[in-house]
Amino acid sequence: MYQWNLPYRKDDVETGGYAMPLYPTMLENPQLRWGFIRKVYTIIAFQLLATVAVSATVVTVRPIALFFATTGAGLGLYIVLTITPFIVLCPLYYYHQKHPVNYLLLGIFTLALAFVVGLTCAFTNGKVILESAILTTVVVLSLTFYTFWAARKGYDFNFLGPFLFGAVLVLIVFALIQILFPLGRISVMIYGCLASIIFCGYIVYDTDNLIKRYTYDEYIWAAVSLYLDIINLFLSLLTVLRALQR
């Protein structure tokens, strides 16, 4: 046990220096936790870069989007790409600690989801895409820094888990109702706003888990969770801004 206001003394051979704990009740080696956090954010950075590259290709090469929008084969392939991330999540959860299978599954998951994001952006005004990307970046960075600051002050966000899970269930039902019985532009905006708020909560919740609860072997699953939060926030903001544009 060590005092919160003193640096943690680490083994010079293994870690070589000092590091401040991330939260007041921290008992583990802060340097090891910081290394884990850096590894997770490195994976997320590569996922986001791959998403941007694939999406930009789909948006700029118009025949790709037209193939998916105007042909039966394209529609079938789009459905396959849409459900692929959900299918891959199951084996990814089971093998997330087994290298290199976890990285292979992570690549499939990321590329499939990136393609879906690209097809969504392909039929969206470029200004709307840019605004959504800027808003997403600002919100993600702000919430991330806030969560790290709040953790150092002793705040805990683990209580958000059940509320966010219930909110996602409501969101899914809302989306099904919207698909079966379209309620118009206002309902789409409401859906987008609710989804944006929920995934903002998930960014705080998953970042708090990254700081305190994920084990060192769960770097893949931690990266997937935060990556999904970021992508869903972007798509939610895109939904709102597209509805406003209409």
Output the CA–CA distances (angstroms, integers) from residue 16 to 7, 13, 22, 36, 211, in the order listed. Answer: 13, 6, 18, 16, 21
- C-alpha span between 29 and 187 (Å, rounded): 48
Within-domain flag for 218: yes
- C-alpha span between 192 and 197 (Å, rounded): 9
The pLDDT confidence band at residue 28, using thresholds 50, 70 and 90, is: confident
Give the model's pLDDT for residue 200: 96
**Single pTM value for the model:** 0.88
- C-alpha span between 33 and 21 (Å, rounded): 9
Task: Name the more confident of 69 and 103.
Answer: 103
Specify which residues 8 forms β-bridges with. 19
Within-domain flag for 101: yes
Nearest to 49 by CA among 222, 230, 216: 230
- C-alpha span between 92 and 221 (Å, rounded): 8
Question: The domain containing residue 71 runs over which residues?
Answer: 8-245
Within-domain flag for 71: yes
Nearest to 48 by CA among 128, 168, 137, 148: 137
Within-domain flag for 232: yes
Q: Kindly state the percentage of the chain with pLDDT values over 70.
A: 92
Start-to-end CA span in the chain (Å): 58
Give the model's pLDDT for residue 18: 52
- Check whether 148 has a pLDDT greater than 80: yes
Give the model's pLDDT for residue 182: 75
- The 8-class DSSP code of residue 7 comes to P
Within-domain flag for 3: no
- Check whether 91 has a pLDDT greater than 70: yes
Within-domain flag for 1: no
* Average confidence (pLDDT) over 159-181: 88
Within-domain flag for 157: yes
Q: What is the number of structural domains in the chain?
A: 1
Within-domain flag for 124: yes
